[in-house]
Amino acid sequence: MKKYNVVILGATGAVGIEFRKILLERKFPIDKIKFLGLTTVGKTFDFGDRKVVSEAVVEGCFKGFDIGLFSAGGDISKKVAKRAVGEGCVVIDNSSAWRMDPEVPLVVPEVNPDDVDWHKGIIANPNCSTIQMVVALKPIHDAARIKRIVVSTYQAVSGTGLKAIEECMIQTKDIVGGKPISQCRVYPHQIAFNALPQIDVFLENGYTKEEMKMVNETRKIMGDDSIGVTATTVRVPVMYGHSESVNIETENKISPDQVREILRKAPGVTIVDNPSKGEYPLAINAAGKDDVYVGRIRADESIPNGINMWIVSDNIRKGAALNAIQIAELMIKKGMIK
């Protein structure tokens, strides 16, 4: 089996750590591996039975590498992604830097795999909350054509990074111990035992950037600008796993049983839908898993062609690292990386 040279930019962040775990778990065919960092240069990290020293991002650091897995933020990606491409490396970028660039495919392998065919060196990984939603909705769209999506998300703190996880845990310990909150730096308000209806900054239209990402990315991935999408995104004190309440209106009538049958056959989807026995998708059960879990599938009785559902997935795995690695695997399967 041919092996590939892989470079990870941002290898020590929440997503970078997951990159490393998943590459090993899936036995990705790696010859050389390189970690690039900003604050970790010179530090040594384990990767399977290898010791890898984190290196600086400098001219020529991508030469000889086939695949770049980027998760170091949009500003860094904007600065170095094209340089990496110029040095012969295909970049799969997890930031928002390239997602809406018309020259850059935005890919979820279960949904729009053929979009990788027109890449010019950079492929964008979608937003975590968008990924899990479109994995569940695209098969339904193909069967009954979705006209409108209303989504409310309940997003884990890990979506903000390791510092947010730490802050939530510290605040929780403070409250349980009867102490005043000792740390509130990552979020504008206390996150422990709370829900914040703000993810990212607010825009002039009253929506947050996160909410508009879901609107715009969904249309691009689904290849249908006519779909109406509105989103409300909320941060909750959950460590791993984003949950979403999703309401769709379809052009053609489709029943909950038909939706279940469609999703049982859909790649990357697991149905957990037996409410009478308390069985429905939970963030604690999705954490550490690869699939998108769907349940609470029921008719919206307020409109003729409406369906409600509850969608849960691990935001760091399928919502970020796994999806990027699946893109790399897809490109190898297509013979696009020599």
Convert the pLDDT of each residue in 237-277 to its tens digit.
999 999 999 999 999 999 999 999 999 999 999 999 999 99
At 39, is the pLDDT very low, low, confident or very high (cuts 50, 70, 90)?
confident
Structure-derived torsion over alpha carbons of residues 161, 38, 324, 296, reported in degrees to the nearest 10: 0
The mean per-residue pLDDT over the stretch 38-64 comes to 95
- pLDDT at residue 161 in the model: 93
Convert the pLDDT of each residue in 231-243 to its tens digit.
999 999 999 999 9
The mean per-residue pLDDT over the stretch 298-306 comes to 98
- Counting Cβ atoms within 10 Å, is residue 262 exposed (0-12), middle (13-18) or buried (19+)? middle
| Percent share of the chain, pLDDT over 90 | 97
R_g (Cα) of the chain, nearest Å: 20
Residues catalogued as catalytic: 128, 242
- The domain limits of the chain are 4-127+320-333, 130-315
- pLDDT at residue 189 in the model: 97
- pLDDT at residue 298 in the model: 98
The mean per-residue pLDDT over the stretch 16-30 comes to 97
Residue 63 has pLDDT above 90, yes or no: yes
- Given a contact cutoff of 8 angstroms between Cβ atoms, the answer to whether 71 and 95 are in contact is yes
CATH code of the domain occupying 4-127+320-333 = 3.40.50.720
Give alpha helix (H) positions in the chain: 14-25, 74-86, 128-144, 162-176, 209-222, 256-264, 283-286, 322-333
> Cα separation of 222 and 142, whole Å?
10
Residues 6+ apart with CB under 8 A from 277: none
Structure-derived torsion over alpha carbons of residues 179, 180, 183, 186, reported in degrees to the nearest 10: 120
Tell me the pLDDT of the chain averaged across its residues: 97
CATH code of the domain occupying 130-315 = 3.30.360.10
Convert the pLDDT of each residue in 107-131 to its tens digit.
999 999 999 999 999 999 999 999 9
The mean per-residue pLDDT over the stretch 134-163 comes to 97
